[in-house]
Chain A
Amino acid sequence: MVFLSYLISGLSLGSVYAIIALGYTMVYGIAKMLNFAHGDVIMVGGYICFIATTNLGLPVWLAVILSMAACTVLGVVIEGLAYKPLRQAPALAVLITAIGVSYFLQNAALLIWGANPKMFSPVVTGTLQLFDGQLTISYVSLLTIAACIVIMIALTLYINKSKMGKAMRAVSEDKGAAQLMGIHVNRTISTTFAIGSALAAVAGVLYCSFSPMLMPTTGSMPGIKAFTAAVFGGIGSIPGAFLGGILLGIIESLAKAYISTNMANSIVFAVLIVVLVVKPTGLLGKYVPEKV
């Protein structure tokens, strides 16, 4: 029974990682850049939802929508101001710019919202008691897992069925050729950032419901974990990010419970290394043969 509760806490943590990783992987797939500022967009999403519910007294659903809208705008603005001028630049230059954006967001949040942590009220409260109270599952965990699955399915459908999704796949395959086919590459990339940032807002709300301490640096650790999850599953692949996130959460939780709390992070990373050495493109990553 204890095992089951460890498993469920791992599953819900993993679902949050998965939602963040979905944003990471979409942006990577299309813009071919590691957006290290993604974690900080999560933090901004959390803060906006906090302000909307606590300070403005809005209902939770409205707050979530508001925070998604704000993060979408933020994502598009960041893309337009910081990343767009570097479209032709080497990947590493974009990476460093993303880190600059991440510093910027953290320090702007510190100035706007202060250093004092804010306690985020979970979007849903209460627990589900099973087996005569031996197993307790919080509704937040259930909501997180459900949200993750819904988002995964919706995103897969969007990418595979919609016109914009088709454009995204084309741009990720070959930017130049896509442009020649009349696809508006810049607009497609902006849309991807918008979707990724909206997902980050959802992730922020769910993450803070689970771990309620909201600070300007809240986003950095889940950001790194989600990056790991995205690579674990094969970066650029949407089911891969989902699988990677879930597995990462479960491994982390079980390693903490049964092996060592000190080494839990290391164990996650060690598993990652082993997986990558065996399967160099991640669990579901596509193998692209090198051409001379």
Chain B
Amino acid sequence: MKNGKKINSAVLKDYLTYAAVALAFVVITILDKQGFINNSTRGLLVPICCYIVMAVSLNLTVGILGELNLGHAGFMSVGAFSGVVASLSLAEAIPNPVIRLAIAMLVGAAFAAVVGLLIGLPVLRLRGDYLAIVTLAFGEIIKDLINALYVGQDSAGLHFGFNFRNNISSINDLHMEEGAKAIIKGAQGVTGNEKLATFAAGFVLIMITLFIVMNLVRSRAGRAIMALRDNRIAAESVGINVTKYKLMAFAVSAALAGAAGALYASNYASVKASTFDFNQSILILMFVVLGGLGNIRGSIVAAIVLTILPEALRSFENLRMLIYAIVLILVMIATNNPRVKTLISCIIPKKKGGPANE
């Protein structure tokens, strides 16, 4: 009986999360319509949505599967560029921007999932920091590969070129027809992108992400994944298929990151592979750690706070990033040092009583 009650309260919390996200969306949309939202906040909405999805999807590998991933931006990159190729190449065939954005996100998710599976394979042999460095390495390799990629489109279809030994230095080297469209120009990336992303699309993507991740966590597969995190050997001994569940977590996480990447890319007129570098991966990891490992709601809050923070600090001018760094260190110490934590809980009385804590 107690068990049943627990599941119910967990499911109830999931519903509350959906409701909170939906409420936030409705409130922001209404405020925006009424003109209460300034340009800088409006401009942050889509990136925040992308970062929320990135943080939640990374939490799936880092928090729920328990494997440190330092290359999550690589999946975002794959999704961003495959999504842009899809949306730009279909520009004439499908004029409707909403459908095109949806296709871009789906294509981005699919490509990223495939890459996620590829990267998941060595994961099976590696653990801990060794795995972390392999994901970092994959992220850097993806960045280099996309830096060397040229994609153009003419009436014959898409043309691809790969600049391995300086054999291609401009889009003209793809030998396309006159008047062909350049989509990805090697290391210069995409320069003529259409702005398709909207806050509504970001909201839908967050809801889909939450639905997938929360249901996965509550499902049999999710319990298997968490069992792998807590004790791999014990999990294996009760017959949990390590390969299957690890790859599943990696692929789902990558696919969601890919969709977020496609959305992110379609928010800007120019996209460059070096945007999705090691620092970007670290930034997303910061959201996850600050929000709490395995804590989906925490990831959402952390992604929002840490994206707004540097913008809110703009009035400090050149001290901005220094203050950002100090705040980051202080928050980490405040949330993780036992002494500081007791101090905080003394000052702020707990909101809820016993039952939630037991």
Q: Which residues of A contact B (CB under 8 A)?
A: 28, 34, 36, 82, 85-86, 88-90, 92-93, 95-97, 99-101, 103-104, 106-108, 110-111, 224, 227-228, 231, 235, 259-263, 265-266, 269-270, 272-273, 276-277, 280-282, 290, 292
Contact = CB atoms under 8 A, between A and B. Distances in A.
Q: Which 6 A-B pairs have the closest CB atoms?
A: A269-B137, A89-B336, A103-B325, A104-B325, A100-B328, A100-B329
A95 B289 contact: yes
Given A92-B289, A260-B165, A265 B233 contact: no
B53 to A, nearest CB: 20
Contact of A265 (B144, B321, B333): B144
Contacts of A88: 338
Contacts of B8: none
A86 B322 contact: no
Contacts of B240: none
A272 B136 CA distance: 11
A104 B329 contact: yes
- The B contact surface, by secondary structure, is helix
B125 A277 contact: yes
Interface string B11-24: 00000000000000
Contacts of B325: 100-101, 103-104, 107
B329 A263 contact: no
Given A82-B333, A104-B326, A290-B233, 19 more contacts: A85-B337, A86-B336, A89-B337, A95-B285, A101-B325, A104-B322, A110-B318, A111-B319, A231-B130, A260-B165, A261-B166, A262-B165, A263-B164, A269-B138, A269-B140, A269-B141, A270-B141, A277-B125, A290-B232
Interface of B: 62, 68, 122, 125-127, 129-130, 132-134, 136-138, 140-141, 144-145, 147-148, 163-166, 231-234, 237, 278, 282, 285-286, 289-290, 293, 318-319, 321-322, 324-326, 328-329, 332-333, 335-340
B125 to A, nearest CB: 5
Contacts of B233: 290, 292
A102 B320 CA distance: 15
A262 B137 contact: no
Contacts of A99: 282, 286, 328
A69 to B, nearest CB: 24
B322 A107 contact: yes
B130 to A, nearest CB: 6
B332 A231 contact: no
A107 B321 contact: yes
A280 B130 contact: yes
B127 A266 contact: no
A228 to B, nearest CB: 6
Given A85-B337, A290-B233, A277 B122 contact: yes
B68 to A, nearest CB: 7
Contacts of B285: 92, 95-96
B130 A276 contact: yes
A266 B144 contact: yes
A235 B333 contact: no
Given A86-B337, A266-B144, A273-B138, A96 B328 contact: yes
Contacts of A34: 129, 132
Given A231-B130, A269-B141, A86 B333 contact: yes
B125 A92 contact: no
B239 to A, nearest CB: 15
Contact of A97 (B319, B321, B333): B333
Contacts of B338: 88
A114 to B, nearest CB: 11
B304 to A, nearest CB: 17
Nearest to A231: B133
A282 B130 contact: yes
Nearest to B330: A100
A82 to B, nearest CB: 6
A99 B68 CA distance: 15
Contacts of B328: 96-97, 99-100, 103
B148 A276 contact: no
B290 A280 contact: no
A290 B242 CA distance: 16
B161 to A, nearest CB: 13
Nearest to A36: B282
A110 B326 CA distance: 15
Contacts of B234: 292
Contacts of B322: 104, 107-108, 111
B62 A92 contact: yes
Contacts of A276: 122, 125-126, 130, 133-134
B148 A263 contact: yes
Nearest to A32: B129
A97 B336 CA distance: 10
Given A96-B328, A97-B333, A260 B129 contact: no
A269 B290 CA distance: 29
Nearest to B334: A85
A266 B145 contact: yes
A70 B329 CA distance: 22
A126 B333 CA distance: 49
B329 A101 contact: yes
Contacts of A265: 140, 144
Contact of A227 (B133, B163, B319, B329): B133
A266 B126 contact: no
Nearest to A28: B129
Contacts of B282: 36, 99
Contacts of B324: 103
